[in-house]
Structure 1
């Protein structure tokens, strides 16, 4: 992923103006690190099937990371989670102010689609990528999940509703990262669908693990504000810690089984991620 990290550093949004902090604000949360999980999923697929398209896919991978970062910036705002810490750094509204954080999030959201539109890929491929990212990153996906999360704070949901919440808020952007990689390399629809379904469950596992981290780790260990899920509809709040860990283990085993049905190239592409993330709560 060093290639991606270098690409990101060299392609932070450049918008020179007489505004003293605007350009810095657009790049600071991108540079603050993070797992780069979503771009890694996309680039792993591209690298496995069409390594010649890797460099052309970097702007698309960065677009996904920008959209994800915008969602974190807005998620941390006083109106939502009111968090002080993200990726081990002060959140954007703490570093600057609330207006700057809102506008930086807005800017990264639209910058993502600008990057895809300008990528050196075929026009029909780029239109499909824009469609997929808009579908799962917008009103039908991540934004819906965030809306449910905020509206139903202090109002307990059942397990299926919590799964719907987190499928939209977290899992769809992870699933679509895999699907967008598959679109770039021209994998057939059936494999795209299998990858997407796998990504949804991988995203749910990610969220369950995140709930466990929120419950069991300090802010220093997690690198972000923890302990803020007390009023939220989290798996831990509904099921308790032991049952949540059991659910995570069951989901991880199911994902491992499905992973073993993928073709050799896909397995090679995703193996490092499986090793790193499948059992990260243990």
Structure 2
């Protein structure tokens, strides 16, 4: 999926989650660890999964969950790493914002409340659904070039890094992501609505139905502003399929845009 479509949505949701719990309880730490440790396996771009698999080794998640705003600082560092890579590819010109500015932005967003507002993250979450481990898009994917010839079957992160993780193992991480997500959502009201909805993450079709049901429930009960209809959503997702699953040499998932020739 095109990173320009789901990337901003994902960053907004993840940053908001990371700032809400400045001093997490042991239970919250376990939920946050569960959620963020699954991210490298579910991102809807194999090159993004590779990068995060590397960053999570360079910046271990375990060291970020016990200090004030440590998780938020960890995510900010990783976001800066992504930005640096985009600048190398001439895909980004802006400099990285200081942590204090990011903190001010997201603490203000949280304080604004959870009703009559936008739910940041729908594009990100539905793009993850589009890349269900058993979807045609995922099953047609090929490994990334440059990896080692042999990787231990137990080294899931390294297999994931080179897009060689078996689909049944990726599915376990994928379902773990959806199990952990409602527990770490920033607002109690969001968690409550999500918690009463029936879900099935075993296939792309079932997962799409589940997430759409959750979205409809949240839009109705919390008067969310960023509403859409199912037909428009599906059209939007089709328009932003990038085809990166079949590429072995690219560095990010961007949908090619062709300029129309003027006769």
Give TM-score scaled by structure 1 length. 0.36
Answer 1 or 2: which has greater helix percent. Answer: 1
Query: RCO higher in 1 or 2 (8 Å CA, sep ≥ 6)?
Result: 2
